[in-house]
């Protein structure tokens, strides 16, 4: 008997957002990091919460059906979390992990239309430099905020690594691994 399991999709619908860049919604975030994302209400779940909460279940799947534009961002964040875990996997103390994750958040990364962007068929090409800048700045804000929130899960309060999170660094979501 074969069990049918489904991936977790984003609860954000296409009508939840009025701004898009490269086919990706610019969703509100609970973030202290400056960027183009609108501020989400305190206590409201945002796309980063969804990505972190769904990560360990979703990373086990090779296929992911995109049901809304927010699912595209969920896919990107799942791959980013996977890459972040891969980077901090070798860090035995939290201080090392923080240094690694901060440098990851500050690295230059490709966007659609640039060499090395892993999800070329998922996101549309920017139609202008303004759209490209908006998308890059939004992803930068999302990556930095995700990195910060992830550290609270990957390391225990005593500063030791949480093996129940780091074990997922070896998994490939949709058979893709972001280059690091």
Under a CB-based contact definition with an 8 Å cutoff, are residues 174 and 77 in contact? no
Answer whether residue 116 shows pLDDT above 90. no
Is 56 within a domain?
yes
* The residue to which tokens 């901060």 are assigned: 102
Residue 3 pLDDT level (bands cut at 50, 70, 90): very low
CA distance 56 to 154: 12
Q: Which domain holds residue 96?
A: 44-170
Cβ-based burial of 105 (10 A; exposed 0-12, middle 13-18, buried ≥19): buried
Is 144 within a domain?
yes
Condensed to tens digits (0 to 9), the pLDDT of residues 130-169 reads 999 999 999 999 999 999 999 989 999 998 899 888 888 8
What is the model's pLDDT at position 7?
74
- Which of 132, 77, 84, 90 shows the shortest CA–CA distance to 104? 84
CA distance 109 to 42: 29
Model's pTM, two decimal places? 0.90
Calculate what percentage of the chain has a pLDDT beyond 90: 46
Is 33 within a domain?
no
Q: Under DSSP, is residue 125 helix (H, G, I), strand (E, B) or coil? A: coil
Is 99 within a domain?
yes
Is 25 within a domain?
no
CA distance 33 to 28: 12
Is 30 within a domain?
no
Is 143 within a domain?
yes
Question: For the chain, what is the mean pLDDT?
Answer: 86
Under a CB-based contact definition with an 8 Å cutoff, are residues 69 and 17 in contact? yes
Is 82 within a domain?
yes
Under a CB-based contact definition with an 8 Å cutoff, are residues 156 and 165 in contact? no
Residue 130 belongs to a domain with what CATH number? Answer: 1.10.1760.10
**Total domains in the fold of the chain:** 1
Section 41-69 average pLDDT: 88
């Amino acid at each position: 008997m074969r069990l049918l399991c489904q991936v977790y999709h984003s609860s954000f619908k296409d009508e939840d957002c009025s701004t898009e860049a490269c086919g990706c919604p610019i969703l509100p975030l609970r973030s202290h990091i400056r960027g183009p994302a609108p501020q989400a209400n305190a206590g409201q779940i945002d796309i980063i919460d969804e990505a972190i909460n769904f990560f360990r279940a979703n990373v086990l799947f090779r296929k992911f059906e995109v049901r809304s534009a927010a699912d595209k961002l969920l896919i990107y964040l799942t791959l980013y979390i996977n890459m972040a875990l891969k980077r901090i996997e070798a860090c035995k103390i939290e201080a090392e992990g923080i240094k690694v994750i901060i440098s990851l958040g500050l690295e230059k990364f490709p966007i659609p239309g640039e060499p090395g962007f892993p999800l070329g068929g998922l996101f549309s090409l920017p139609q202008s430099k303004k759209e490209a800048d908006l998308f890059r700045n939004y992803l930068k804000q999302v990556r930095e905020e995700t990195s910060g929130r992830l550290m609270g899960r990957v390391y225990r309060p005593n500063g030791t690594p949480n093996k129940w999170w780091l074990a997922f660094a070896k998994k490939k979501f949709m058979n893709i691994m972001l280059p690091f």
